[in-house]
């Protein structure tokens, strides 16, 4: 049987820790963690078996980092600015493949602003308790095994800015309530079992900077959900069942840097995409575009994928010597006149590479 430390010893240790942990800015000791937050975190970490000797002994905000490595992270951040107590505002537990459950106590951490549980092995469905975390701005649950549909309670997280759910098994249609989360700047939902269409009211999401949707089944979508988003820099709509003809006037996306429309069945003249010619990535392969490939798209340093668009034609210019130029043109009618090294059929950067940016 393990010996429990004497209460007096624990009290002295706590005092020493509190004295050592001076707030650098003010030279003041940190106040204690709110007892409700501390109890909830303790319950969560106990269920995940992440606490060692410190369980219930060290105040959580005095030891915010449990583990930090390229493989696994377990840490919190606290807001101690109120002076009399600290509140837990960030919880990051990532990379633990042995973590499979979402503990109910997690939803007692009601001051959380950021919750990153990506790259674990969480399974089952998302509990309705998420509705109690109404201050959340960051929700990263990507790369888990979550299933079921998006719970209605997610609609209560009106402050969400970053919602990452990619690479799970969530099913059902894309929830309409997302259109109400107008603070969203970063929405990534692909690699799941979701059904189209993409709701037209997504055009409300005027603050979007990164939109990555993909792998949708079911009903087809048109381009109508894309508005003149002033800040959009990533538009990735791979396999979204976009089957329409491109409109003659595309939405104005002045900040666009990454355009990925691969694997839809969009049609119309490829020159209609010219408003996006300054994008630093142009992936429009596996569609049904037609007509000559505009020279503006063919720029050294801009990865270009026009493959498998049977009716796209034109000529590719000489490949400049020494340039690391990524072009995918297989399966099109493009005339390369032997000017391009035909062995140059590289893997273009993928969603996964994008996430590092
Ligand atoms: C701690 O947090 C709970 C739950 O948010 C709150 O009701 C309570 O007033 C806070 N402060 C203390 C000292 O418990
Ligand atoms: C979570 O909050 C509920 C309701 O306030 C309380 O009954 C429960 O004991 C709390 N759980 C933990 C682990 O703190
Ligand atoms: C998961 O693995 C970590 C690190 O190896 C370990 O500390 C923890 O106790 C494990 N948790 C569970 C639930 O097995
Ligand atoms: C926790 O994750 C958020 C969002 O992923 C990140 O901004 C923050 O720096 C991380 N905090 C810690 C302590 O790792
Ligand atoms: C852990 O955090 C470090 C530094 O913030 C980061 O480089 C690393 O990718 C993170 N690992 C995981 C598994 O999230
Ligand atoms: C993830 O959890 C599933 C059960 O949901 C289990 O079969 C699988 O082995 C786990 N994966 C890892 C890497 O632990
Ligand atoms: C939120 O917490 C309160 C009490 O703390 C509880 O009564 C309510 O059911 C919770 N809501 C959800 C959606 O879990
Ligand atoms: C979700 O996965 C769990 C096991 O991880 C399974 O028991 C449950 O039936 C699944 N639910 C759905 C809706 O697929
Ligand atoms: C959205 O962001 C603005 C500006 O940061 C903020 O004032 C507002 O409270 C946030 N939440 C909602 C629901 O609009
Ligand atoms: C969006 O918000 C409006 C106004 O708050 C509400 O009436 C509507 O039901 C919400 N829509 C969805 C799909 O949640
Ligand atoms: C776009 O970004 C700018 C600068 O960060 C910001 O002021 C603005 O509110 C953002 N949203 C829109 C819709 O322009
Ligand atoms: C793409 O759309 C064309 C009509 O524009 C249709 O003939 C063709 O079968 C579609 N291809 C696929 C793979 O859906």
Q: How many other β-carbons are positioned within 10 Å of the β-carbon of residue 182? A: 13
By mean pLDDT, which of 10-24, 79-93, 313-327 is the weakest? 10-24
Cα separation of 215 and 209, whole Å?
20
Quick one: pLDDT band at residue 24, thresholds 50, 70, 90?
very low
Pocket flag, ligand 5, residue 120 (CB < 6 Å):
no
Nearest listed ligand to the Cα of residue 229: 11
Per-residue pLDDT for 76 more than 80? yes
Going by DSSP bridges, is the β-strand pair 73-79/65-68 parallel, antiparallel, or unpaired?
antiparallel
Q: What is the pLDDT of residue 174?
A: 95
Cα separation of 357 and 26, whole Å?
35
Q: What is the pLDDT of residue 54?
A: 64
Quick one: pLDDT band at residue 339, thresholds 50, 70, 90?
low
Q: What is the pLDDT of residue 148?
A: 97
Pocket flag, ligand 11, residue 182 (CB < 6 Å):
no
Closest CA to 111 of 94, 131, 129, 134: 134
Pocket flag, ligand 11, residue 231 (CB < 6 Å):
yes
CA atoms lying within 13 Å on the CB side of residue 168: 30
Residue 220 per-residue DSSP state: -
CA of 110 to the centre of ligand 1 (A): 10
Mean pLDDT within 160-181: 97
Share of the chain above pLDDT 70, in %: 82
Q: What is the pLDDT of residue 2?
A: 37
Q: What is the mean pLDDT of the chain?
A: 86
Q: What is the pLDDT of residue 348?
A: 55
Q: Which of 105, 129, 136 to mutate to test the pocket of ligand 7 (most atoms within 8 A of CB)?
A: 129
Closest residue by Cα to atom 11, ligand 3, is 49
Q: Which of 60, 105, 110, 131 to mutate to test the pocket of ligand 2 (most atoms within 8 A of CB)?
A: 105
pLDDT digits (tens, 9 = 90+) for 259-275: 999 999 999 999 999 99
CA of 207 to the centre of ligand 11 (A): 7
Q: What is the pLDDT of residue 53?
A: 62
CA of 102 to the centre of ligand 3 (A): 15
Nearest listed ligand to the Cα of residue 155: 10
CATH architecture observed for domain 31-296: Alpha-Beta Horseshoe (3.80)
Hey, where are the domains in the chain? 31-296
**Contact 258/281 with Cβ under 8 angstroms?**
yes
**Contact 116/186 with Cβ under 8 angstroms?**
no
Closest residue by Cα to atom 11, ligand 1, is 34
């Amino acid at each position: 049987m393990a010996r429990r430390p004497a209460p007096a010893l624990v009290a002295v240790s706590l005092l020493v820790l509190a004295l050592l942990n001076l707030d650098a800015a003010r030279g003041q000791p940190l106040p204690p963690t709110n007892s409700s937050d501390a109890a909830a975190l303790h319950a969560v970490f106990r269920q995940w078996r992440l606490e060692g000797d410190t369980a219930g002994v060290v105040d959580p905000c005095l030891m915010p980092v449990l583990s930090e490595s390229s493989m696994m992270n377990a840490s919190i951040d606290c807001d101690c600015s109120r002076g009399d107590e600290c509140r837990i505002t960030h919880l990051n537990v990532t990379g633990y493949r042995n973590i499979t459950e979402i503990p109910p106590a997690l939803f007692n951490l009601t001051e959380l602003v950021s919750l990153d549980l990506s790259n674990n092995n969480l399974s089952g469905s998302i509990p309705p308790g998420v509705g109690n975390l109404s201050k959340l701005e960051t929700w990263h649950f990507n790369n888990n095994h979550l299933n079921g549909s998006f719970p209605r309670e997610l609609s209560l997280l009106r402050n969400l800015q970053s919602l990452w759910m990619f690479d799970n098994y969530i099913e059902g249609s894309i929830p309409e309530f997302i259109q109400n989360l107008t603070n969203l700047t970063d929405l990534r939902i692909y690699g799941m079992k979701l059904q189209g269409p993409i709701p037209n009211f997504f055009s409300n999401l005027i603050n979007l900077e990164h939109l990555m949707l993909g792998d949708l089944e079911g009903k087809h979508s048109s381009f109508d959900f894309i508005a003149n988003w002033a800040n959009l820099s990533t538009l990735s709509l791979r396999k979204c069942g976009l089957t329409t003809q491109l409109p003659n006037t595309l939405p104005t996306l002045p900040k666009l840097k990454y355009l990925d429309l691969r694997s839809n069945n969009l049609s119309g003249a490829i020159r209609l995409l010219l408003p996006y010619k300054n994008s630093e990535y142009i992936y429009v392969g596996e569609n049904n575009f037609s007509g000559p490939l505009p020279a503006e798209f063919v720029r050294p340093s801009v990865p270009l994928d026009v493959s498998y668009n049977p009716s796209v034609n034109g000529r590719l210019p000489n490949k400049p010597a020494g340039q690391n130029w990524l072009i995918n043109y297989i399966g099109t009618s493009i005339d390369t006149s032997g000017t391009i090294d035909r062995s140059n059929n590289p893997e273009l950067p993928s969603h996964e590479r994008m996430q590092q940016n």
